[in-house]
């Protein structure tokens, strides 16, 4: 294949733009924050599961406290009612029975109040555990929101940069022969290296040192010959820096 040296040199600009376009595409579709965002999402899911468990324990503790408070209230009402009845009792046997019941209710109220205090302690502990877990959830969610916002901003910026680079590539590609550009793209698609500058006998596409027969073949080729690197298969672009 034949192509002017100028066209061949422009392939280096195309290759550089292709590299930068690929970078912006990765930044647009695979933001650097992505792994951490996914990690935080999984972490938040685990934390929410723990929060649900702790909230259930808090609800149980509150229910138990409520039951005890109700029992205390009922026992107190009954004791007060018996005390009123005792004040108006005229029968000694009935009075004795009321006194016995009042004493029994007093002991029950005392036991219930002790249990109530313990239940209040469990509610406080359960509430503290829920609050601490909620703080962890909020922290995880806050970090995730910040990273997500940053990722969206960077993705948008990468998308805009990619559009600019694509337009630049199209402008340069328009100045290169269609046959040469197609050959470059075919080689790039096949091996990843479509073109490389030959600098001081080294292919900068794959860093191979050309010597002996290979370097002589390149040296003896016409300036408009499209020559290839024997290692990576990319088009070798020759300039004054090639060492020929």
The pLDDT of residue 160: 97
Same domain? 51 vs 9: no
Residue-range definition of the domain harbouring residue 132: 31-154
Is 75 inside a domain boundary? yes
Identify the helix (H) or strand (E) that includes residue 124.
helix 92-173
Is 163 inside a domain boundary? no
Is 56 inside a domain boundary? yes
The pLDDT of residue 207: 93
Confidence check: pLDDT of 32 > 80: yes
Is 167 inside a domain boundary? no
Contact in structure between 59 and 200 (CB atoms under 8 Å): no
Q: Distance between CA 8 and CA 10 in Å, rounded?
A: 5
Same domain? 136 vs 37: yes
Same domain? 67 vs 88: yes
How big is the chain, counted in residues?
A: 244
Structural domain count, the chain = 2
Q: How confident is the model at residue 34 (pLDDT cuts 50, 70, 90)?
A: very high
Could you say which DSSP state residue 91 is in? -
Is 162 inside a domain boundary? no
Identify the helix (H) or strand (E) that includes residue 232.
none
**CATH code (residue 91):** 1.10.287
The pLDDT of residue 91: 84
Cα dihedral value 70, 76, 82, 83, nearest 10: -160
Q: How confident is the model at residue 88 (pLDDT cuts 50, 70, 90)?
A: confident
pLDDT (tens digit per residue) in 43-85? 999 999 999 999 999 999 999 999 999 999 999 999 999 899 8
Same domain? 11 vs 122: no
Q: Distance between CA 124 and CA 112 in Å, rounded?
A: 18
Q: How confident is the model at residue 25 (pLDDT cuts 50, 70, 90)?
A: very high
pLDDT (tens digit per residue) in 224-243? 999 999 988 999 999 988 87
Say what the pTM is: 0.73
Is 161 inside a domain boundary? no
Q: How confident is the model at residue 90 (pLDDT cuts 50, 70, 90)?
A: confident
- End-of-domain residue from the set 139, 154, 169: 154
Confidence check: pLDDT of 195 > 90: yes
Could you say which DSSP state residue 199 is in? E
Enumerate residues 6+ apart whose C-beta is below 8 A from 216.
none
pLDDT (tens digit per residue) in 141-172? 999 999 999 999 999 999 999 999 999 999 99
Any idea which of 22-36, 58-72, 210-224 has the lowest mean pLDDT? 210-224
Q: How confident is the model at residue 192 (pLDDT cuts 50, 70, 90)?
A: confident
The pLDDT of residue 49: 97
- The CA-atom distances, in angstroms, between 73 and each of 64, 80, 221 are 14, 10, 106
pLDDT, the chain, mean: 94
């Amino acid at each position: 294949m034949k192509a002017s040296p100028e066209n061949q040199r422009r392939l280096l600009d195309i290759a550089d733009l292709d590299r930068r376009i690929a970078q912006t595409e990765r930044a647009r579709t695979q933001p650097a924050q992505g792994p951490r965002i996914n990690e935080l999402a999984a972490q938040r899911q685990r934390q929410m599961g723990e929060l649900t468990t702790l909230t259930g324990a808090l609800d149980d503790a509150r229910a138990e406290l409520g039951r005890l408070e109700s029992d205390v209230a009922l026992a107190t009402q009954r004791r007060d009612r018996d005390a009123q009845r005792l004040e108006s009792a005229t029968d000694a046997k009935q009075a004795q029975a009321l006194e016995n019941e009042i004493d029994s209710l007093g002991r029950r109220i005392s036991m219930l109040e002790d249990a109530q205090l313990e239940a209040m302690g469990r509610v406080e502990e359960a509430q503290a555990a829920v609050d601490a877990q909620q703080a962890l959830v909020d922290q995880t969610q806050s970090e995730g929101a910040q990273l997500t916002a940053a990722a969206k901003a960077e993705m948008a910026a990468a998308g805009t940069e990619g559009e600019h680079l694509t337009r630049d590539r199209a402008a340069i590609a328009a100045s290169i022969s269609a046959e040469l550009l197609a050959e470059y793209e075919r080689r790039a698609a096949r091996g990843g290296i479509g073109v490389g500058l030959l600098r001081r006998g080294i292919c900068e596409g794959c860093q191979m040192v050309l010597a002996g027969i290979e370097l002589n073949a390149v040296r003896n080729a016409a300036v408009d010959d499209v020559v290839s690197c024997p290692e990576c298969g990319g088009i070798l672009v020759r300039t004054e820096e090639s060492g020929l």
